[in-house]
Amino acid sequence: MHPNALLDMATELVRQVLRLDAPADTIVSGFLRQHRQLGPRERHALAETAYTLLRQRLVLAHLAQSGSGALERRLAILAWQGTDSFMRRALGPNEQQWLEQVNAIDRSGLPEKLRHNLPDWLAQALRNEVGEDFWPLVAAMDNTAGLDLRVNTLKAKREDIQAELAEAGIQAELTPYSPWGLRIAGKPALQKLPLFIRGDVEVQDEGSQLLAALLAPKRSEMVVDFCAGAGGKTLALGALMRNTGRLYAFDVSGYRLEGMKPRLARSGLSNVYPAQIAHERDERIKRLSGKIDRVLVDAPCSGLGTLRRNPDLKWRQSPKALEELQAKQTAILASAARLVKPGGRLVYATCSLLSRENEAIAQAFSEANPGFEFLPAAAALTSAQVQGADALDSQGYLRLWPHRHSTDGFFAAAWQRKD
């Protein structure tokens, strides 16, 4: 494709993602579906340009104030993630000169807000959470996340999959904590590899895998994944149960549960029962009250722990939205707790970095439910064969940070219902 045409496409994609009226991954994938003539390299350049713009929105908007022409074109040029030579061929002499001048600016001397690229409320909230680790956290969230895989232990062994990937020219390292994880640099196309088609692996962040380890379901138990979504954690739980017992996958979204079907078919699991529920007090839940061995509540949250993958969230979330989420999280956890039988385990989790969605919700639950005994994360994870579990434990909670653990940001709290 001619460089001018591709830059025009990048400009249009920038215009669409800056509306912030839908998740960026939805906008980008929809845009690329409309342009099926693009090759893999062109598609990658366009997608990464959009995500780079969302990561660095404030500083790029500041730098784009100079120059001439459409603002979205200037932003696309500054955020461009294809080759430099390609971009130079798309630019006229004046634009090339402008770009050289902008690239010569020392960004380390810019105001803090332009260096952290966060809305004020979120920057302050993260400073309150991590203190001196604020800038390392910002740097980690500005990096593109690697690709983590969970080996389906029903079908394969981690070392065998690592070797098979190496034969395909893909280097994979063992994840440091999860006993089933592999980490790959970059984003190779896995969907056409036999190991993916066979259901031997699933794409799943190491932090998400550790939530399954914390719940630690056993053979023949009754287990509920209360907010199952597209089923990544459901599949991990089913493998830990060795395809025995009953695993209920509840979600209010039938669309998300539909997304589980092809993954479920590949996985070889036959103990999973997906079910759409109307709300957290659905009749299906009442019928199972006090009968479930283990319940995972991966609650709806701000998603701010996933900013490496979803940089648009920092612009699409707000303090008011967080208040509404906290009320929902409290209600969902209280309802899910009713399912747990005496001696059973309950895990509350989010992919948020903020204590108001995490520790605050867990502490309030503990105070309101003396019939549940708090379980320290390190001990529970160690018994689940998680290596280095002490490094994941913060005051008894599982706490994962992009800059400390190279995972998405995750939180989890565990309790056991007293007999």
Active site residues: 351
d(CA 220, CA 241): 7
Helix/strand/coil for 121 = helix
Vertex 122 angle, CA 116 and 127, to 5° = 75
Name the residue type at position 10.
A
Burial 330-352 (b: 16+ CB within 10 A, else e): bebbbbbbebbbeebbbbbbbbb
Q: How many helices (H) and strands (E) does the chain have?
A: 22, 13
By DSSP bridging, strand 340-350 and strand 292-298 are parallel
3-state DSSP helix/strand/coil percent for the chain, to nearest 5? 50, 15, 35
DSSP string across 83-103: -HHHHHHHS-HHHHHHHHHHH
Count of residues making up the chain: 419
d(CA 164, CA 382): 29
The kind and range of the H/E element at 295 are strand 292-298
Residues 6+ positions from 230 with CB-CB distance below 8 Å: 256, 257, 259, 260, 263
Residues 6+ positions from 96 with CB-CB distance below 8 Å: 88
Instruction: Return the axis-axis angle of helices 232-240 and 260-267, rounded to nearest 10°.
Output: 20
Q: First-to-last CA distance in the chain?
A: 67
For residue 182, the cross-strand partners are: 149, 174
Measured CA to CA in angstroms, residue 419 lies from 215, 288, 373, 416 at distances of 18, 18, 10, 9
